[in-house]
Amino acid sequence: MNVASYKTISAIQQDIESGIVSVEQLVSAYLQNINKQKHLNVFLEVFENEALEQAKALDEKHKTGGKKGKLFGVVIALKDNICYKNHKVSASSRILEGFTAIYSATVVERLLKEDAIIIGRTNCDEFAMGSSNENSAFGTVLNAADNTRVSGGSSGGSAVAVQANLCHVALGSDTGGSIRQPAAFTGTVGLKPTYGSVSRYGLIAYASSFDQIGPITHSVEDAALVTQIMAGKDEFDSTTSSKSVEVADFSKPVQPSKIAILGTMVENDALQPEVKQTTANFIEELKAKGNTVETVEFTYLDYLIPAYYALTTAEASSNLARFDGVHYGFRSSNATDMESVYKKSRTEGFGREVKNRIMLGTFVLSAGYYDAYYAQAQKVRRLLRDGIKKILENYDFILLPATPTTAFKIGEKTTNPVEMYLADIFTVLANLTGNPALVFPIGKDNEQMPIGIQLIGGHFKEKELMEFAAGV
C-alpha cells in the first residue's frame, strides 16, 4: 500500500473506520519503507515487533467497538533524546550508547494514551547540538529529496522520517530551530510551541530555558492535533504553564490578519535568491487574500546568534556535567583513577561539537567573563522579548524566512563553524523570546529543494497561528 497518500491523520482514521486499511497494514507499510530506505540513516532503532503487536491490539479494539483515542492508528517516531520506558535512548552520543530509559517522557505517555504507535527512535545531532545532522555519533542523516544534501538539524532524522514516509508524525526538540530548520529543508511542517506549553520531562536537556518538544508532520492540522494532546500542565515539570493550548478549528474560513515582516530579515543579503523571491511572492499572495502585511523596524538581528550561543552553551555546560563516566553511560576503559575516569570518559564519549559548546559555555560562565558575556546576553534576551511583544501588540503574526538557504551540501559548512551557526539566524529568535513558531513549505528552488516560511505568534497563540497557516 502507498502510505504517501495519507497527508492527514483524519484521512488515515477514515480509511481504518471504513475497513479500507487496517492498523497492522499501515505499520507493515511503514516498516517496508524503512527497510527500503535504510541508506537515509534515519532510524537508530526500529521497534518492529512491538509496533506490530500494538497494531494488532488496536485492530482488535476496532473490531470489538472499543473506544478509540484521538491518535488511533497514527505511527509516530521519537527523536533520540526523548525517553521511552524500557527502550534505549542515547541523544545520538557515544557517551549514552546502550543506556535504557527507566521512565517515559510525559509527551510519550500522552501520545500512547491516545492510541499512537511508536515505531522507533530517530537519529539527531549529538545532544541536539547542530544545524545539519552531521554531528551524530552514528552518521549523517541524508535528505530524501537529494541524498547529497543535509537533512537539517538537530531533528534531521525526525524530519526525514516524515519526508520519506517512514512514519506519519515525528517528534523533535527545538532549542534554536531544531524542528523548524529541518522541516524547511525537507518540505514538512514543523512547530515549536510556546515555551512551557509542552512538558520537557523525559527530554534529555541541552539548554533548559530554550528546549521545547514539538511535532513534525505533513499538515498543519496534524501538528495542531498532536500539540494539543501533548500540551498542558505537568507535575513533573515545574516550567509548564497552567494555560492550555486551545483546540484549533479548521472548519471556519480564515479571517484576514495583520502581519509584520522584519525588514532586516526578509531583505537580508544573506538570503539565497530563490528563497528571497519565493518569500516575496508569498507576501504578495497574502496581500491578495486581504491580509495587511507591513514592514516593521527590528534592529537586533546582529545580536541574535551571539546572545543565543552565549546562553545555550552556558546552560549546556551545566546540563552535560552529569555525563561523567560515573553515574551512567560510557566509561573509558583507559581510566586508571577517579580523575582520569572523568577526563577520559568525557573526552572519548563526547563528539567535537559537544565539547566545543561545553568549553564555550564554561568560558562565558567563568569568573571575569560572566558579566561580560552571560549577563549581557540575558539583557539582550530581555530586549528581544520586549521588542517582539511590542510588535505583536499591533500585529497578529510576524513573518520571516525559515532559513537563509535551502538544504546545503553535506560537508559544505563543517569547516566553518560560524557559517554553520548562522544557518539558525532566523529561527533562534522564537527560542530567545519563548514565542510559538511554525514553519511550512511554500515552494522549491531551481534544484527542486524545499523552501519554508516561518510565522511567529504571541505566547500561547498556537490556535490562531495554526488556523491562519492552514488557511493560506
Q: Give the confidence band of 244 by pLDDT, cuts at 50, 70, 90.
A: confident
Q: With a cut of 90, say whether residue 106 has pLDDT above it.
A: yes
Q: pTM for the complete prediction?
A: 0.97
Average pLDDT over every residue of 423-448? 97
224's CB contacts (< 8 A; 6+ apart) are 247, 248, 250, 462, 463, 466, 470
Q: Which of 104, 132, 178, 257 is catalytic?
A: 178
CA distance 195 to 209: 8
Assess whether 154 carries a catalytic annotation. yes
Residue located via cell numbers 497492522: 24
pLDDT attached to residue 142: 98
Average pLDDT over every residue of 212-223? 98
* Alpha-helix residue ranges (DSSP H) falling in 231-322: 263-266, 273-288, 301-319
251's CB contacts (< 8 A; 6+ apart) are none
Q: With a cut of 90, say whether residue 52 has pLDDT above it.
A: yes
| Candidate from 113-127, 173-187, 402-416 with smallest mean pLDDT | 402-416
Q: Which residues pair with 295 in a beta bridge?
A: 261
Quick one: cell of 344? 577520559
Dihedral angle, C-alpha 401, 406, 410, 412, nearest 10 °:
-70
Structural domains in the chain, sorted by start: 3-230 (3.90.1300.10)
Give Cα 449 to chain centroid, integer Å. Answer: 19
pLDDT attached to residue 458: 97
Dihedral angle, C-alpha 182, 184, 188, 193, nearest 10 °:
80
Q: What is the pLDDT of residues 379-432, one digit of tens each?
A: 999 999 999 999 999 999 999 999 999 999 999 998 888 889 888 999 999 999
CA distance 20 to 14: 9
Give Cα 410 to chain centroid, integer Å. Answer: 20
pLDDT attached to residue 223: 98
Quick one: cell of 150? 543535509
pLDDT attached to residue 301: 87
Q: What is the pLDDT of residues 124-175, one digit of tens each?
A: 999 999 999 999 999 999 999 999 999 999 999 999 999 999 999 999 999 9
Q: Which of 104, 132, 154, 257 is catalytic?
A: 154
Nearest Cα neighbor of 165 from 36, 54, 58 is: 36
The vertex-445 CA angle with 441 and 447, nearest 5°, equals: 125
| Candidate from 45-49, 80-84, 340-344 with smallest mean pLDDT | 340-344
pLDDT attached to residue 153: 94
| Candidate from 9-13, 191-195, 261-265 with smallest mean pLDDT | 261-265
Average pLDDT over every residue of 45-72? 97
Residue located via cell numbers 511535532: 215
pLDDT attached to residue 293: 97
Nearest Cα neighbor of 437 from 418, 424, 450 is: 424
Tell me if 134 sits within 8 A of 89, measured CB to CB: no
SS (H, E, C) 386-414: HHHHHHHHHCCEEEEECCCCCCCECCCCC
CA distance 359 to 63: 57
Nearest Cα neighbor of 23 from 50, 43, 52, 45 is: 52
The helix/strand/coil state of 296 is strand
pLDDT attached to residue 245: 85
Q: What is the pLDDT of residues 292-302, one digit of tens each?
A: 999 999 889 88
Higher-pLDDT residue of 299, 374: 374
Average pLDDT, the chain: 96
Q: Which of 22, 79, 131, 344 is catalytic?
A: 79
Assess whether 63 carries a catalytic annotation. no
CA distance 152 to 21: 33
Quick one: cell of 167? 512514519
How many CA atoms within 13 Å lie on the side-chain side of 5?
Answer: 8
Q: With a cut of 90, say whether residue 42 has pLDDT above it.
A: yes
Q: With a cut of 90, say whether residue 116 has pLDDT above it.
A: yes
CA distance 269 to 231: 38
Assess whether 79 carries a catalytic annotation. yes
Residue type (1 letter), 183: A
Average pLDDT over every residue of 370-383? 96
Strand bridging mode 142-143 / 146-150: antiparallel
CA distance 244 to 228: 8
Strand bridging mode 43-46 / 117-122: antiparallel
65's CB contacts (< 8 A; 6+ apart) are none
